Amino acid sequence: MRRILLASAAIAAFAGTAQAETVLKWGANRDIGSLDPYSYGDSFTINVLNHVYEGLVRYNRDLKIEPALATSWEILEDQITWRFTLREDVTFHNGNPFTAEDVVASLERVSHETSPLKGNLPAYVSAAVVDTHTVDVTLNGTYPLLLNDLTNIHIFDKEWMTEHDALLPTDIGAGTEGYATYNANGTGPFVVESRQPDAKTVFVVNPDWWDEAQHNLDRIELTPVTSAATRVAALLSGEINFTNDAPVQDLPRLAAAPDVQVLEGVDLRTVMIGFPFRETLSTGAPNPFSKREVREALYRAIDLDLIHQRVMRGKSRIAGATVAPEIPGYVEALDTVPGFDPDAARTALAEAGVPEGLEFEFNCLSDGLVNEEQVCQAIASMWSRIGLAPKLDVAPRAVQTPKRTGGTTDVYTLGWATLPMLDAYSPLLQIFHTKEGNSGVFNWGGWSFPELDALVQAAGSELDVEKRLSLETEALQIVKDQHIMIPLHQQPMAWAVTGEVAEMPLFPDNKPRLWFARVTPDA
């Protein structure tokens, strides 16, 4: 009997070991907006869904471009057609084979006039099937950054989209939903098992992934924990074992905890303030922000050092340029600030005819940038001291996005990390260019500078790297001279993991790539 009991115990122990799961419990500061990666130009949502969907190419551990669903590519003799050879024996999560038809349908969907992400393929004209595993992509001219763009263009299953009437994009900002909003079917390393918006989204490993897995995860549980204090408590208690948003004010406490490791860096994302250029404000009053001297006055009224020290706990990097130093196109000469001078700011406003006590909306996100609400509160207070009356409007992204894209708010915050392009051409085209076609998608202020547009367009077709970067720098000089937007800082990047997370690479673009993560299995 004793031998039988011992044998039974051994079998039970073996079964328990065999069934042990490696689970990454990810506590994020917010939820993804949709299961449709094309639904909004939001880096977080696109990044999370990159675990489910894949592009033709991707960034590797060193942020260098490598093959993904495409194995090779070449530029044809006309210099505007790129031919991609596709990976064979790849299947979508529902078992459908991956073919050239899927690539064409996906490119048509993301570049559609109603797509919020159409600006992510600025040079795209059309795509055509050559054969089952070959696609030709035609551009509007010579263009050096197509591969960079394609790292974030996820490929859908055409048959699945057709079956569920999902060939057209959805749009969070416009309130347009569809089957892809709540369902997913990619080729990536993880499959969506379940989703409860604003509660939990569960991903399980894809056993049929075409690539050799470097991770050891069975499940990823993404839980939005919007409260910083609650997120820290959840990490310390083990309720979550990873967060990509460790609050800067709690980093000393987390670093002192025996079972927590803090991973720190400075994000590529530049936090900026944008202005409306239309004739009137949301109040109906004349809009003074279209004047350069008024924008400069508001810039001078912001104590960037105080925000850096008090709000960001010394973890940010004060920025004078709209792109980070690591981004091609950046030059140190543009990375200067005018200096904090509230008296000069008040005088400049009076000389520009800005009435004392001018009211305007200051639109900020409660679930956006690092300590965004506190940053906005500090800036609103500083502007109040020079005689303005900003009305602080803080709400979740889902509430604020329609106001921003619809041009119904006034001053607003914006963070831009140049993703996925990792080049200054990204903000120049999508933010600072006149809003037309695929350009100026995030030009929510409605500005237009023809000289700047010409430089951006020239850079977009210049194949010589040095010449292209020189054109981008000239364009960034106009952005700075005109104070089109006010750069504040590159925000701090702080992740934290518990001891059971054995490997979690920290990337400078602040994107968790969990197909590189490793977790100790549950006992």
| Model pLDDT for residues 216-267, shown as the tens digit of each residue | 999 999 999 999 999 999 999 999 999 999 999 999 999 999 999 999 999 9
What is the distance between the alpha carbons of residues 137 and 7, in angstroms, rounded to a whole number?
A: 63
pTM of the predicted model as reported, rounded to 2 decimal places? 0.79
pLDDT at residue 522, rounded to an integer: 66
What is the distance between the alpha carbons of residues 490 and 416, in angstroms, rounded to a whole number?
A: 9
What is the distance between the alpha carbons of residues 112 and 117, in angstroms, rounded to a whole number?
A: 9
Which residues, in sequence order, are bridge partners of residue 362? 392, 411
Helices (H), 368-464: 372-384, 397-405, 425-427, 450-461
Instruction: Select from 381, 380, 342 the least CA-distant residue to 364.
Output: 380
pLDDT at residue 17, rounded to an integer: 43
| CB 269 within 8 Å of CB 329 | no
State the first-to-last Cα distance of the chain, in angstroms, to the nearest integer: 28
pLDDT at residue 11, rounded to an integer: 38
pLDDT at residue 19, rounded to an integer: 57
Helix (H) or strand (E) holding 233: helix 228-237
Chain segment 425-447, per-residue pLDDT in tens:
999 999 999 999 889 989 999 99
pLDDT in 10s for each residue of the chain, 523 residues: 333 333 344 433 444 444 578 999 999 999 999 999 989 878 899 999 999 999 999 999 988 999 999 999 999 999 999 999 999 999 999 999 999 999 999 999 999 999 988 888 989 999 999 999 999 999 999 999 999 999 999 999 999 999 999 999 999 878 899 999 999 999 999 999 999 999 999 999 999 999 999 999 999 999 999 999 999 999 999 999 999 999 999 999 999 999 999 999 999 999 999 999 999 999 999 999 999 999 999 999 999 999 999 999 999 999 999 999 999 999 999 999 999 999 999 999 999 999 999 999 999 999 889 999 999 999 999 999 999 999 999 999 889 999 999 999 999 999 999 988 889 999 999 999 999 988 998 999 999 999 999 999 999 999 899 999 999 999 999 999 999 999 999 999 999 999 999 999 999 889 999 999 999 986 4
User: DSSP strand E in 10-104: where?
Assistant: 23-28, 57-59, 65-67, 70-75, 81-86
Query: Does residue 2 sit in helix, strand or coil?
Result: helix
Helix (H) or strand (E) holding 12: helix 2-18
pLDDT at residue 428, rounded to an integer: 97
Alpha carbons within 13 angstroms on the beta-carbon side of residue 207 total 0
Helix (H) or strand (E) holding 254: helix 251-256
